[in-house]
Amino acid sequence: MPTLKIKIAPLQNPERHASLARALTQITARTLGKRPEVTAVVIEDLPDAQWFIGGRRTEQPTALLEIDITHGTNTPPQKEAFIEAAFAELQRQLAGGGALAQASYVIVRELPATDWGYDGVTQWERKRTGPLVAA
């Protein structure tokens, strides 16, 4: 049940949003073993005038991707593979053969199983009452 939140600049079109959501969902499944049917992707466009690096407006495409996963469900190598693949995909789609701004980040955030869930059930409760569902 990972949740991916992406902020990107410059502004993109809805087709790019859909393409990013599909690609990042696939990367999440492949590298972290997460189920696509409970993977949510939220994309927020920002104009260049609202993104600053080093105190100056960014001059290159840039992105901030944060993913929330359940603590302890992935190994450091899996998280490293996710960060590498997600960054490469962001660069491919947003920089069009160029490079993203160096200060573009991919963050993996692990939350305790007791602190989140989906369909009204925490991950802790899912683990306690049934087979563990990777999320």
- Please write the tens of the pLDDT for every residue from 22-49: 999 999 999 999 999 999 999 999 998 9
Asked whether 34 and 96 are in contact (CB, 8 A), the reply is no
Residue ranges per domain, the chain? Answer: 3-7+15-65+78-129
Share of the chain above pLDDT 70, in %: 96
Cis before 10 (ω within 30): yes
- pLDDT for 135 equals 52
What's the Rg (C-alpha) of the chain? 16
Residue 75: other Cβ atoms inside 10 A: 10
- pLDDT for 45 equals 95
Q: With the CA atoms of 15, 19, 22 and 25 taken in that order, what torsion angle do they form, in degrees rounded to the nearest 10?
A: -120
Domain 3-7+15-65+78-129: CATH superfamily is Macrophage Migration Inhibitory Factor (3.30.429.10)
